[in-house]
Amino acid sequence: MGYLPYSPCLTTPTTEKQGQQNHMLHEEFTSFLPPPPPALLRQTVQKKSLNKDSTEYRQRRERNNMAVRKSRDKAKRRIQVTQQRMMQLQEENHRLQKLIGQLSQELNTPEAHPITAPSSTKG
């Protein structure tokens, strides 16, 4: 079973004028569309088949293995830094929650707000 041809619009224009309008509409919005991925812009290149016993193949595998190791190490470091930051923020949050509790308690105690009668100075 073959694929159906791509049609940029859902409705089929019944007149040439409608077709021109759809084309103009498409041109108006092309500036908002992202560019095609680079893979589509490149010409297809045949992969060079390498013999698994060749030195070039071994070198490529070694470089790839090193890149993979480096990438995984970097990800581990990023996770460790994030976890350390999370611990710091949790400690700071706990400290601030405690401070909020203390300040709220001070606000709710009557001795913190002594009520004084307005002084009348008659002279």
Using the predicted structure, report yes or no on whether residue 123 has a pLDDT greater than 60.
no
The rounded distance, in Å, linking the Cα atoms of 13 and 22 is 8
**What percent of the chain is helix, strand and coil (3-state, nearest 5)?**
65, 0, 35
* Mean pLDDT, all residues of the chain: 79
The average pLDDT across 79-106 equals 97
- C-alpha 13, offset from chain centre: 40
Confidence of residue 79 (pLDDT cuts 50, 70, 90): very high
Task: Give the per-residue pLDDT at 48.
Answer: 72
Which of the four pLDDT bands, split at 50, 70 and 90, describes residue 51?
confident
CA distances from 111 to 8, 108, 114 (A): 76, 9, 5
Residue 47 has pLDDT above 60, yes or no: yes
- 37-41, 73-77, 91-95: which range is least confident on average? 37-41
Q: Contact 80/73 with Cβ under 8 angstroms? A: no
Measure the CA–CA gap between 14 and 20, rounded to whole angstroms.
Answer: 11
User: Rounded to whole angstroms, how far apart are CA atoms 38 and 44?
Assistant: 12
Domain range annotation of the chain: 78-106
